[in-house]
Structure 1
Amino acid sequence: MSARKSAEPSPESIARSNRQRLAAQEGAQAMLDAEKQAVDLRKNMARLRQLREAREAADATLQASLPAPTPTKRKRKPPQ
């Protein structure tokens, strides 16, 4: 039986723990970046919605201020 009871961790375990630590840090940073992008996207969508609604309201007031179009009479085709 070779039971290893060394107080010092092996180089492999040190490397593994370093990789795990780096992966956890990068994952946390990726989550923060994704949240920031989502917030920015929602802000942009809200800005564009306000612009669209303002344009639609201006178009509606313009259409309301114009006189109603007069209906045209249908022309009959001349007999051949």
Structure 2
Amino acid sequence: MNARKSAVPSPEAIARSHRQRLAAEEGARAIADVERQGVEVRKNMARLRELREAKEAADAVIAASLPAPALKKRARKSPR
């Protein structure tokens, strides 16, 4: 016969259940923290990309308004 002794869980079973519950809660907190950090990183990357693109556009406007640089003539090599 394979009957259980009683419906009262043993102290080991209670401790194991408690550890599993704590591990599950900690895992959920860790996952939420990683997702929150990911959102923050993506927001910062978007902010930095906008700043870089604005700077590149401003640099292009400045470069277009400047006169073209004068080409220097190559110096002749002196004969030996």
Which structure 1 segments of 5+ residues have no match? none
Letter of the 1:28 counterpart? A
- String of CA shifts for 1:7-51, please: whole Å, max 9, x gaps: 211000000000000000001000100100000000000011011
State the distance in 2 between where 1:45 and 1:38 align: 10
Displacement, 1:77?
A: 1.4
Deviating beyond 3 angstroms after TM superposition, the runs of 4 or more aligned structure 1 residues are 1-4
State the distance in 2 between where 1:24 and 1:2 align: 32
Residue in 1 that maps onto 2:49? 49
Displacement, 1:5?
A: 2.1
SS at match of 2:77: coil
Question: Normalising to structure 2: TM-score of the pair?
Answer: 0.91
Displacement, 1:70?
A: 1.4
Residue in 2 that maps onto 1:40? 40
State the distance in 2 between where 1:43 and 1:5 align: 58
- Please give the root-mean-square deviation of Cα atoms over the aligned residues, in Å: 1.4
Number of residue equivalences: 80
Question: Normalising to structure 1: TM-score of the pair?
Answer: 0.91
Residue in 1 that maps onto 2:64? 64
Higher mean C-alpha deviation, range 22-31 or range 66-75: 66-75
Displacement, 1:58?
A: 0.9
Residue in 1 that maps onto 2:79? 79
Matched, 1:30 2:34: no
